C-alpha cells in the first residue's frame, strides 16, 4: 500500500466532509449490489433473556431486537432502491435468512479483522473514490451522458454540493458508510486468506503422479461372508464403545421424532357450486359496469387490471377464441381451470405491429451435418401421414422434445420475434396457408409444419376478474372438527397409528428433527410445529394441539427424544453392528493370510494356499472409484497406490474382506505441464480456503438458529 495511506494530514475527502457533514453520499444501486454480500448488520443490544433470543453465536445470545434492526435495515435499503416494490412472503423469508447470515458473519469473522489489524484508512477511501484508483462501480455510477465515460468532476460536485440538497440520501449514507468500509475490510481478509496458500512445484508433481499414475495390481481376498453372521454377537456395550471411540462421526445434536397426521382442507362440492354462483353473479355485474378498472379492484381479482392490448396466445386456448370473437363490452365466461374461476370483459380491439399464427409441427433431429437425411425422413413420414398409415399427432408426440410433445405437435399461437420456436419455422408458417403441410429447416433441425389458423394481427384489451376456489368456513369447520376428534382419541391410551387407521388417516413420520433443521416432509413451513416440539415443556409421548399450517390441520405426537451426544445403542446398531461383525470376522481370517504369506511369494501362491479370490486391477490410482468385485474400498486403493512395483502389502482389513495387495508394475505415465498443474492446484486451494475458514469459524462458534420461535 502507498505511504500516503499513513499520512496524518486531512485528505480531500476529509475536507469535503468538513464542508458537507458527511463523508460520502450513497453511490447508487450498482455499488449497493456490489457491496451487499459483505454488509454487516446494524448494532443492537443484547439481552440475556432466553425468551428474547433468536439464537446463539459463539455462546453469545442474539436478541430479537438486534436481529430485527438488521432485518429492517435490509428491507429499508431494498425499498429505497426499488420504490413501490411489494414485500411478499418469499422476500420476507429471504431477507430474514440474509439478516441472520449477516449477524453470523459479524460475530464470527469480523473479530478476526481486529486481531489481524485490518482496516481502511481515510486516504485509502479517497484513493478509491476521487483519487487515482476510483472503484469501477463508482465509475459506473458517474458516467458522462455524452461520452459514457467516467466523469470525475461529476463525482466531486456530487460529494461537495449535491449531498446537501438531499437529506434522505445523507441519512442513508450514514448507515451505508460503515457497510462500505466493512466490505473493503472483508475483501482484504479474503485476499489475505487466499494469499496464505502457496502451492509448490513439488506438490503439483506429487499430486499429478498420485492422481494420474496408474499401476497394475492383484488383490487376494478372503471375503467376510465366509464367516456366518449368526456365529457372531455384538453387544450394546461394544456398539457404544466403538461410537465413543469415533465420537466425531457418531455424536448427534439433540433431536426429536414425531408421528403426525395431516388434514388438507380442500373445497367441497358445495364450495364449487357457490363459487360458480359467484362467477355468474360477477359476470352479470361486469356486463353493466361503467368503470371496469375499479370493478376489477373492488371484486378483489387475483389478476390486476391490465390496460394494455394483448396479442393472440395471451390467454388459455380453451377460452381465447371466444375472447377474440366477442363483441366490444361483452362478457366472456365464467371459465374454470385448475380451481380458478375467471370472467373476461372485452374492452377494445387493436392492431398488432407483429403477426401471429397458430401452428403445429413435427421435429426431426439432424445427426451430425446430414440435414438431407433428416429431410428425406420427413418426406417419408409426411407421405405416411397423408396415406393414413400414421397421424400427425402420433409422430409429433414421439419425436418432439419441446412443449408441443404433450399436445400432439400443437404449438398454439406463435408470434413473430418470439423465442419459443425457431424464427425460420415461424416465418414459414406465416406464408404456408391454412392446413398446408410444409417441410422446412431451422436451427433445431427439420420440421413438418402446418398453420392451423390464418395469420392474425388482432389484439384485444381485456379486463379480468378471477378468484381461486377456497374452502368455506363450513368446510373448514368440518376438517377442524375431524382434527379435534382425532386429537381426543390420540390423547387416550390407544397407539397413534391405531387411532389414525380407525379414522381412515395415514400416520406420517418425521425423524431426527433439530432446531436448526426441523423440516417436516410434506409441510412447507414447519416453524409452528418446531415451536411446540422444542418447547422446554414438551416431552416424549406428548401430543400437540391442532396446528394450522399451510391450509392444513396437523396433530403430532413426540415419538422419541434424543439428547445431544452419543445416541443409544439401539439407534446405532444399524450403522455399527456390521462394522464390528467384520472386525470379529477379520480376527478369524487375518491369521490365515498371515500364515500363508510366510511361504507365498506370488498372488497365485497365496490364493492357492488359502483358497482366496484373486481380483486383477489393471489400472488403479487415487482417482479410482470402485474396484472390480470389491467396490469402493479406500484402504485397498490407498495400499495399491502406496506399495512399490514388484512388492506386496501386509494384510488389509477392508470393507468386504481381508486382503493382500501385489503391485505387478507401474503403467506408462506422461507427466502434465508442471506449471499449469501447479497453477490449477493453487486455484483449487484458494477456492477451498475461502469456504474452509468460514466453516471452521462457524463450527467453533457452535451456532444455534432459533428464528422459528418468532416467525411462522
Lowest mean pLDDT among 205-214, 225-234, 460-469, 546-555: 205-214
Helix (H) or strand (E) holding 173: helix 167-195
**pLDDT at 463 exceeding the cut of 60:** yes
Q: What are phi and psi of 57, to 5 degrees?
A: -135, 120
**Which pLDDT score, from 0 to 100, does residue 45 have?**
37
**If you average pLDDT over residues 29-37, what whole number do you get?**
35
Q: Long-range contacts made by residues 392-400, C-beta under 8 angstroms, separation at least 24?
A: 392/360, 392/362, 392/448, 392/450, 395/362, 395/448, 396/360, 396/361, 396/362, 396/363, 399/362, 399/363, 399/364, 399/365, 400/361, 400/362, 400/363
Does 30 score more than 80 pLDDT? no
CA-CA distances (angstroms) from residue 317 to 59, 309, 323, 410, 453?
60, 17, 10, 11, 13
Do the beta carbons of residue 121 and residue 9 sit within 8 Å?
A: no
Instruction: Judge whether 248 and 546 are in contact, CB under 8 Å.
Output: no
Cβ–Cβ < 8 Å for 218, 664: yes
User: What is d(CA 236, CA 76) in angstroms, rounded to the nearest whole number?
Assistant: 57
Higher confidence at residue 460 or residue 369? 460
Q: Please say whether the beta carbons of 400 and 363 come within 8 A.
A: yes
Query: What pLDDT, in 10s, does the model give residues 98-127?
Result: 999 999 988 988 888 888 888 888 888 888
pLDDT at 174: 63
Mean pLDDT score across all residues of the chain: 86
Residues 363, 442: Cα–Cα separation, whole Å: 10
Residue 357 to residues 312, 418, 441, 501, Cα–Cα distance (Å): 8, 12, 18, 56
Strand arrangement of the beta sheet that strand 255-264 belongs to: 508-513, 255-264, 552-562, 547-549
pLDDT at 50: 62
Q: What is the pTM of this model?
A: 0.65
103 closest CA partner among 173, 170, 53: 53
Is the pLDDT reported for residue 43 higher than 60?
Answer: no
Cα end-to-end distance, the chain, whole Å: 49
Q: Report the SS3 class of residue 424.
A: helix
pLDDT of residue 629: 81
Residue 183 to residue 47: CA distance in whole angstroms = 28
Report which DSSP code applies to 41.
P
Contact 555, 562 (CB under 8 A): no
Tell me the range of 152-161, 211-220, 535-544 where mean pLDDT is highest: 535-544
Average pLDDT on 272-278 reads: 94
d(CA 164, CA 485): 67
Which is it for strands 704-705 and 60-63: parallel, antiparallel or unpaired? Answer: unpaired
Domains of the chain: 3-194 (no CATH), 214-251+570-666 (no CATH), 255-264+472-562 (3.10.50.40), 270-468 (3.10.50.40)
Q: What percent of the chain has pLDDT over 70?
A: 92
Q: Decide: 146 and 175 in contact? Cβ < 8 Å.
A: no
Confidence of residue 320 (pLDDT cuts 50, 70, 90): very high
DSSP state at residue 446? E
Spatial separation of the C-alpha atoms in residues 289 and 331, rounded to whole Å: 11
What are the b/e assignments for 619-655, b being 16+ CB within 10 Å?
A: ebbbebeebeebeebeebbebbbebeeeebbebbbbe
Q: What is the pLDDT of residue 76?
A: 85
pLDDT at residue 368 tops 90: no
Is 70 exceeded by the pLDDT of residue 56? yes
Q: How confident is the model at residue 177 (pLDDT cuts 50, 70, 90)?
A: low
Residue 472 Cα to chain centre, angstroms: 35
Amino acid at each position: 500500500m502507498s505511504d500516503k495511506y499513513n499520512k496524518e494530514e486531512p485528505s480531500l475527502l476529509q475536507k469535503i466532509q468538513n464542508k458537507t457533514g458527511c463523508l460520502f453520499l450513497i453511490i447508487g444501486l450498482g455499488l449497493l449490489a456490489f457491496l451487499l454480500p459483505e454488509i454487516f448488520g446494524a448494532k443492537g443490544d443484547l439481552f440475556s433473556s432466553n425468551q428474547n433470543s433468536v439464537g446463539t453465536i459463539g455462546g453469545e445470545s442474539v436478541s430479537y431486537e438486534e436481529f430485527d434492526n438488521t432485518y429492517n435495515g435490509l428491507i429499508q435499503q431494498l425499498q429505497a432502491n426499488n420504490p413501490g416494490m411489494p414485500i411478499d412472503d418469499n422476500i420476507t423469508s429471504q431477507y430474514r435468512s440474509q439478516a441472520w447470515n449477516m449477524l453470523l458473519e459479524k460475530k464470527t469473522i469480523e473479530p478476526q479483522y481486529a486481531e489481524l489489524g485490518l482496516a481502511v484508512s481515510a486516504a485509502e477511501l479517497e484513493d478509491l473514490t476521487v483519487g487515482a484508483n476510483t472503484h469501477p462501480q463508482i465509475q459506473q455510477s458517474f458516467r458522462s451522458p455524452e461520452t459514457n465515460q467516467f466523469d470525475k468532476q461529476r463525482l466531486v460536485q456530487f460529494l461537495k454540493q449535491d449531498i446537501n440538497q438531499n437529506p434522505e440520501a445523507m441519512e442513508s449514507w450514514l448507515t451505508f458508510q460503515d457497510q462500505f468500509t466493512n466490505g473493503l475490510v472483508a475483501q482484504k481478509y479474503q485476499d489475505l486468506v487466499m494469499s496464505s496458500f502457496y502451492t509448490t512445484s513439488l506438490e503439483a508433481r506429487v499430486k499429478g503422479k498420485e492422481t494420474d499414475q496408474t499401476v497394475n495390481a492383484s488383490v487376494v481376498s478372503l471375503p467376510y461372508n465366509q464367516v456366518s453372521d449368526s456365529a457372531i454377537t455384538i453387544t450394546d456395550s461394544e456398539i457404544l464403545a466403538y461410537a465413543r471411540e469415533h465420537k466425531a462421526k457418531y455424536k448427534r445434536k439433540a433431536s426429536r421424532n414425531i408421528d403426525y397426521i395431516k388434514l388438507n382442507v380442500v373445497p367441497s362440492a358445495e364450495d364449487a357450486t357457490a363459487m360458480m354462483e359467484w362467477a355468474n353473479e360477477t359476470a352479470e355485474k361486469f356486463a353493466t359496469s361503467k368503470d371496469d378498472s375499479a370493478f376489477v379492484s373492488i371484486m378483489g381479482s387475483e389478476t390486476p387490471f391490465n390496460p394494455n392490448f394483448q396479442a393472440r396466445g395471451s390467454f388459455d386456448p380453451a377460452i381465447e377464441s371466444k375472447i377474440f370473437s366477442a363483441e366490444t363490452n361483452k362478457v366472456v365466461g365464467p371459465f374454470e381451470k385448475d380451481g380458478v374461476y375467471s370472467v373476461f370483459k372485452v374492452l377494445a380491439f387493436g392492431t398488432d405491429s407483429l403477426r401471429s399464427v397458430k401452428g403445429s409441427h413435427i421435429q426431426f433431429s439432424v445427426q451430425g451435418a446430414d440435414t438431407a437425411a433428416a429431410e428425406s425422413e420427413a418426406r417419408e413420414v409426411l407421405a405416411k401421414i397423408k396415406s393414413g398409415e400414421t397421424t400427425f399427432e402420433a409422430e409429433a408426440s414421439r419425436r418432439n422434445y419441446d412443449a408441443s410433445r404433450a399436445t400432439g405437435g400443437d404449438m398454439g399461437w406463435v408470434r413473430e420475434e418470439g423465442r419459443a420456436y425457431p424464427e425460420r419455422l415461424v416465418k414459414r408458417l406465416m406464408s404456408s396457408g391454412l392446413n398446408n403441410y410444409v417441410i422446412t429447416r431451422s436451427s433445431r433441425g427439420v420440421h413438418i409444419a402446418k398453420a392451423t389458423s390464418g395469420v392474425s394481427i388482432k389484439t384485444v384489451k381485456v379486463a379480468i376478474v378471477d378468484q381461486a376456489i377456497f374452502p368455506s368456513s363450513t368446510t373448514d369447520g368440518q376438517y377442524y372438527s375431524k382434527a379435534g376428534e382425532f386429537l381426543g382419541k390420540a390423547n387416550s391410551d390407544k397407539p397413534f397409528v391405531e387411532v389414525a387407521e380407525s379414522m381412515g388417516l395415514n400416520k406420517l413420520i418425521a425423524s431426527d428433527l433439530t432446531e436448526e433443521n426441523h423440516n417436516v416432509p410434506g409441510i412447507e413451513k414447519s416453524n409452528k410445529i418446531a415451536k411446540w416440539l422444542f418447547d422446554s415443556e414438551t416431552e416424549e409421548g406428548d401430543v400437540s394441539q391442532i396446528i394450522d399450517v399451510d391450509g392444513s390441520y396437523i396433530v403430532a405426537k413426540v415419538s422419541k427424544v434424543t439428547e445431544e451426544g452419543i445416541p443409544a445403542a439401539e439407534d446405532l446398531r444399524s450403522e455399527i453392528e456390521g462394522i464390528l461383525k467384520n472386525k470379529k470376522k477379520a480376527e478369524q481370517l487375518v491369521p490365515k493370510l498371515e500364515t500363508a504369506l510366510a511361504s507365498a511369494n506370488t498372488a497365485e501362491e497365496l490364493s492357492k494356499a488359502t483358497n482366496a479370490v484373486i481380483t486383477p486391477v489393471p489400472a488403479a490410482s487415487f482417482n479410482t472409484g470402485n474396484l472390480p468385485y470389491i467396490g469402493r474400498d479406500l484402504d485397498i486403493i490407498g495400499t495399491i497406490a502406496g506399495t512399490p512395483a514388484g512388492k506386496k502389502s501386509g494384510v488389509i482389513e477392508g470393507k468386504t474382506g481381508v486382503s493382500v495387495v501385489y503391485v505387478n508394475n507401474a503403467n506408462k505415465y506422461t507427466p502434465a505441464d508442471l506449471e499449469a498443474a501447479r497453477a490449477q492446484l493453487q486455484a483449487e486451494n484458494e477456492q477451498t480456503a475461502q469456504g474452509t475458514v468460514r466453516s471452521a469459524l462457524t463450527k467453533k462458534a457452535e451456532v444455534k438458529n432459533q428464528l422459528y420461535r418468532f416467525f411462522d
